[in-house]
Amino acid sequence: MKINKNLNVYVLYGAFFISYFVYIYHADIWKFMEKIGALATALALFAAMYQGYVAWKAASLTREANSQNLFQQKFNLVLEQHNESLAKIRDWVTSAKYLEKKLNTECLVSEIRGHEQLSPYMRILYHTLKSIKEELPVTDELDEKELIKTQKRYTSLVRSFIPNDILFLVACNASVTDGKIFEINNSQSYWYYNSMLKRFDFFEHLNTQADNKINLEDLSKEITKSVYESCYLYYFNGDTMGMEDEKNNTHIKKLNEFLSNPFFFICLEYNLKNKAIDTSNFINKPLSMHEIFINSLNEKIATLNEEGLTSYMTCKTNAFYKEKVECIIHSKNNIYTDLSSSILTPIKGLYYEPPLVEFLSSLLRYDMLMSDLLIFRDSFHSTLKKTLLKSSSHLKKQYWYQDSVDMSYAAIVKEISPLIDHLISLRNKINYNESPSDILKTKKKEFQIHINTLFY
């Protein structure tokens, strides 16, 4: 009992002390209690928010899982439909041997599009890729590279079922997306198809079956050298600058000739390095196939100069006239043994041809001085007849010999004279109208404009 009394006294004193302490510091205590209450409220709110986040995250993961499952189910159905369509054309394409056909790009693309057997499959493949690109559930955390990588897991699976010959046709089908290079109707509608195939590197394992890869440097050299040919034809054919059809110029035709190779074109279009085109010399340059090709062309164009053009025109023109002379001399090398007959029956072998060919072709040259060319025009007749007589392989005692020589001489003069006049006209045009440097400058500019029109 005594202990209980002492305890009561202690409690009473304690209560009195606490009451007195609260009374003295009640203002500070209430401020402290307010802070404690605010903190408790904040903690309660945070706890509620966290619980809400956990619930939302769980629901989100559930939705993502459901979405992924739904997409996987749909993808399986789409893939099954794709493979069924692929099976229908597989044997047919193998027997058609499109890879062995020598069709140019424009003809091949035109044939594939709208094809009774191929078009249904191409459409199914398009929708298969589109569903992967647009419907595959992904998180917002993925950047573009990661997104494409995720999508490629599915597109690579689709591609794995497609044999190489059909994969080649898929590449051709969606390769032309405008009318810049090939004028194929409704090409713009294939732009999205084309962009998806590029996005997924769909042809990175395509075998173009090119026996010999085209060396890009050699190709560029060949194409740009055709600028010289275009300059030569401008002079030689008597074209005028304002009347030329740009598409029929040699350098433009040569470029289009390579673009008409389906293997070459799809390598450019889908950035397929070292497939049909050897780009080993550009391996350290982080450029696309288009950029590599254009840079290579521009580098070669820059090396073209007037000296090179003059050399080209000299060789080309001299070879042309020599060929003409050989043809004329050979066709007129006739003996007429019966001149009394109304129907002449010539026999080959009146004279030995090489001396006549050498004599005439040595003077019908692009690099002849104009003064020497004019002298040759006015004096070659008598020299020709003497050379013709000396080069005969037959006895001159034959009564028909001189008449045969006269007939051949007249026929040769009749055809050689226009050649001389043509050469003089050509030289005058070069000397007094447009210089080779002016024409070369115009053709180079024309070529670069055409390249820019095609690829930009």
Say whether pLDDT at 320 is over 60.
yes
Please indicate whether residue 411 or residue 395 has the higher confidence score (pLDDT): 411
* Average confidence (pLDDT) over 400-404: 79
Confidence (pLDDT) at 389: 79
Taking the CA of residue 205 as centre, how many other CA atoms within 13 Å lie in the half-sphere pointing to its CB?
Answer: 10
Inter-axis angle of helices 306-331 and 353-361, nearest 10:
150
- Kindly state whether residues 58 and 192 are assigned to the same domain: yes
pLDDT tens for 131-145 read 999 988 877 777 888
304 close to 441: Cβ distance less than 8 angstroms: no
Say whether pLDDT at 292 is over 60.
yes
Whether residue 449 lies inside any domain: the answer is no
pLDDT tens for 423-444 read 998 888 888 888 889 999 999 9
* Cα gap 179→188, rounded to integer Å: 8
For 151, the 3-state DSSP assignment is helix
Question: For the whole model, what pTM was predicted?
Answer: 0.74
- Kindly state whether residues 316 and 193 are assigned to the same domain: no
Whether residue 455 lies inside any domain: the answer is no
Say whether pLDDT at 59 is over 60.
no
Q: Which of 189, 76, 63 is nearest to 132 (CA)?
A: 76
- Kindly state whether residues 175 and 34 are assigned to the same domain: yes
Q: How many CB atoms lie within 10 A of CB 335?
A: 21
* Cα gap 188→178, rounded to integer Å: 5
pLDDT tens for 251-265 read 888 999 999 999 999
Structural domain for 256, as ranges: 214-297
Whether residue 207 lies inside any domain: the answer is no
- Kindly state whether residues 194 and 221 are assigned to the same domain: no
In the chain, the percentage of residues whose pLDDT exceeds 70 is 79
Say whether pLDDT at 242 is over 50.
no
Looking at the 3D structure of the chain, how many domains does it have? 3
Say whether pLDDT at 280 is over 60.
yes
Q: Which of 130, 133, 135, 131 is nearest to 144 (CA)?
A: 133
* Average confidence (pLDDT) over 359-371: 89
pLDDT tens for 267-277 read 999 999 888 88
